[in-house]
A and B are shown apart, each in its own frame.
Chain A
Amino acid sequence: MSMYIQPEYEVIRNEQRCINCRACERQCANEVHFFDPKTGKMNTDDAKCVNCHRCVCICPTHALKIVRSDDTYKVNANWSKQTINEVYKQADSGGVLLSSMGNPNPLVSFWDKMLINASQVTNPPIDPLREPMETQVCLGKRTAKIERDASGKLKNTLLPHLELKVPIMFSAMSYGSISYNAHASLARAAQELGTYYNTGEGGLHKDFYKYGKNTIVQVASGRFGVFKDYLENAAAIEIKMGQGAKPGIGGHLPGTKISSDVAETRMIPEGVDAISPAPHHDIYSIEDLRQLVYSLKETTSYKKPIIVKIAAVHNVAAIASGVARSGADIIAIDGYCGGTGAAPTRIRDNVGIPIELALAAVDQRLREEGIRDEISIVASGSVRSSSDVVKAIALGADACYIGTAALLAMGCHLCRACQQGKCNWGIATQRPDLVKRLNPETASKNLVNLVTAWDREIQEMMGGMGINSIEALRGNRLMLRGIGLTDTELKVLGIRYAGESI
């Protein structure tokens, strides 16, 4: 590390409260805390602190707090401290900057610039506590034709679907990027909630096959862990073409996180960085994508819906139109604020477009082309609350994926150091001593609580709009109004300005 870079955070210890129990020292995988026998007191190395708050939360006497250092470079509006430090780091190492989790920069959130409607006087609101409210959704093609057999009975021509009790699923996070216990928690919660979790591109640990009915398995360019049983076991198969945090870039799992179990699941050498390249080397066109879609359908006898996940990029609407014609049943679109275990900083912070705009553009395009029923849309990339979900559905999504919010529910403190593999909360690590800190029983309960609470809030908001079925909210953009948006933004979002009537 460059000598120029000073610690970003300071660990402040209240000497009067500290009882030298050394819990902080035992709990910190970054080795920030240590006991100084000369002084008989605890001391810290602030430079190692990632501000994950593990020590703060664990300290029995509340003796610790972590504050942002007020040490500053000469103030410069153009050259921020972060920018200067990044130059120092690269000048020191010659390396590509690698970051974790979603983009932390102050970006425009279009969710925050859209407001939800409510009924007044006419078309009265509905009270979800007393009246039935439908938040269940089905994902897949809606193009089944009515056919009858010789005796006049209806033939079942329904194509395979995913049935979600809530319009929220857990997005792809691979075993490797997150721990065994984190995967266990997501799987259990998905089962209890009647929704789905997604294995990500790292394959599926054999212990989790029992959650198959609530599992979406991913097929990415590296094809880690992909084989017949893995595909057969799942409720749906997702082809990962791209990811919002790093459009145009493949996966990168640092070698420190490739434990023997992860190596076995992925079938790669232990301790070596796992690279999934940016492209699928057999996909150069929509026709080629169709080939992968159908090879998966053939292998699983047309029993599983196929999801194609793409990053929200400039031509997302045209790409989605192609995906809808590839035979895929569901398209997942991931916006530029989406999280990741590791992504080149420059890609994460500068490539891709916001999910709100991408989603609106895709829904619009598919409707114009008359193929919206060919494919369901799942939106992701910083869906932070139930109101984000409601807005996404009103913009045209069928359901949302949540990743970061799910991690937070499990105890993640968004310290953005996942790539270092030393997650003190037992989530983004493979170190057995850290993994065991995450209790799947508690964490799955927390996930269930979160999604249940969001579902209630979604029902409240729907009831307020006088809508009792989430199907009636989908693509219902009249339920949204914009504030602080330009004409172009309103046009892309397909919504009116607040105060404008129909």
Chain B
Amino acid sequence: MVIEAEGKTFAALNSEVRACEDSEILIKNCVGQRYIAAGLSKKSLAIEGTPGNALGAYLNGAKILLRGNAQEATGDTMNGGEIVVCGNAGDATGYAMRGGEIFVRGDVGYRCGIHMKAYKEHKPAIVVGGRAGSFLGEYQAGGILIILGKDVKGSPVGNFCGTGMHGGEIYLRCNALPKLLPAQVKAERLESLPEGKVKSLVQKWCELFKEQESEFLNSSYFRLIPNSENPYKQMYTVN
């Protein structure tokens, strides 16, 4: 089913999406409507245009293909499913994500993957083709963040990457470690991507955006993980 978004409020558009019985939906001429597909579980959406903030918030298994740029808080508290952004995504992409995958062809803004969590089989992941802004993976408690830094000169991340990180992993495709890494983070250099989940995520990103796999698999990466089992404990004294 095709839904024409032009001139519609977010409430009208979203209620149409919820009411639609087709499993595949195409939204055309999207102009800033927020919360598209919020909490959606089964459908598959393609969007043309520019959706507003909180695209796919609390997404619960649905798939979204966005042929354009996303604004802020894409995949906020997403629980499952997939969001593919063919352009750039804004700040707080994947805020408190707890499942599913987000693939961004271009760049993401500040605080991507903040509060990302994981538990056993629920392991969220974000793969960014370009560059990420400051505070990537802030308070990260689980999951995987991969920044591929394609065509980026200099560091693929801004400052304070991994501040407050206490779980999960960040992979940065670059040759030099970013400056101003916080004390809670430990970095290790990898000459190529190891077999497993991370590699298959990068392969999927290449397939989605028709990029050469070899360019991304055989590059050097930095893997960032938290360096303490309990980074905050020593800060407090019982009173």
Binding site for B on A (CB under 8 A): 86, 89-90, 92-99, 221-224, 226-229, 231, 252, 254-255, 263-264, 266-269, 271-273, 275, 277, 281-282, 291, 294-295, 298-301, 344-345, 417, 419-420
Complex Cα–Cα for A93 and B115 (A): 29
User: Is B229 in contact with A281, judged by CB distance below 8 angstroms?
Assistant: no
Determine if B164 is an interface residue (Cβ-Cβ < 8 Å).
Answer: yes
User: Is A345 in contact with B115, judged by CB distance below 8 angstroms?
Assistant: no
A-B contact pairs, 28 of them (CB 8 A): A95-B234, A222-B96, A226-B58, A226-B77, A227-B77, A227-B98, A228-B60, A231-B58, A255-B230, A267-B119, A268-B141, A273-B166, A275-B232, A277-B139, A281-B95, A281-B111, A281-B114, A282-B92, A291-B73, A295-B35, A298-B10, A298-B11, A298-B14, A298-B57, A299-B57, A345-B239, A417-B238, A419-B238
Interface pairs A-B: 7 shortest CB-CB? A95-B237, A223-B96, A299-B39, A267-B117, A227-B79, A97-B239, A93-B237
User: Which residues of chain B from 61 to 120 have any CB-CB distance to chain A below 8 Å in the complex?
Assistant: 72-73, 76-77, 79, 91-92, 95-96, 98-99, 111, 114-115, 117-120
Q: Which residues of chain A have C-beta atoms less than 8 A from B234's C-beta?
A: 95
User: Is B60 in contact with A222, judged by CB distance below 8 angstroms?
Assistant: no
Residue of B11, B91, B237 with most chain A CB atoms under a 10 A cut-off: B237
Determine if B180 is an interface residue (Cβ-Cβ < 8 Å).
Answer: no
User: Is A295 in contact with B38, judged by CB distance below 8 angstroms?
Assistant: yes
Q: If A295-B76, A300-B39 touch, does A273 touch B233 (CB 8 Å cutoff)?
A: yes
Determine if B159 is an interface residue (Cβ-Cβ < 8 Å).
Answer: no
Q: If A223-B115, A231-B58 touch, does A255 touch B233 (CB 8 Å cutoff)?
A: yes
Residue of A92, A231, A294, A298 with most chain B CB atoms under a 10 A cut-off: A298
Residue of B58, B60, B142 with most chain A CB atoms under a 10 A cut-off: B58
Majority SS of interface residues in chain A?
Answer: mixed
Q: If A97-B237, A227-B58, A281-B95 touch, does A268 touch B117 (CB 8 Å cutoff)?
A: yes
User: Is A231 in contact with B239, judged by CB distance below 8 angstroms?
Assistant: no
Closest residue on chain B to residue A291 by CB atoms: B53
User: Is A95 in contact with B53, judged by CB distance below 8 angstroms?
Assistant: no
User: Is A267 in contact with B142, judged by CB distance below 8 angstroms?
Assistant: yes
Q: Which residues of chain A have C-beta atoms less than 8 A from B162's C-beta?
A: none
Determine if B41 is an interface residue (Cβ-Cβ < 8 Å).
Answer: yes
Closest residue on chain A to residue B228 by CB atoms: A272
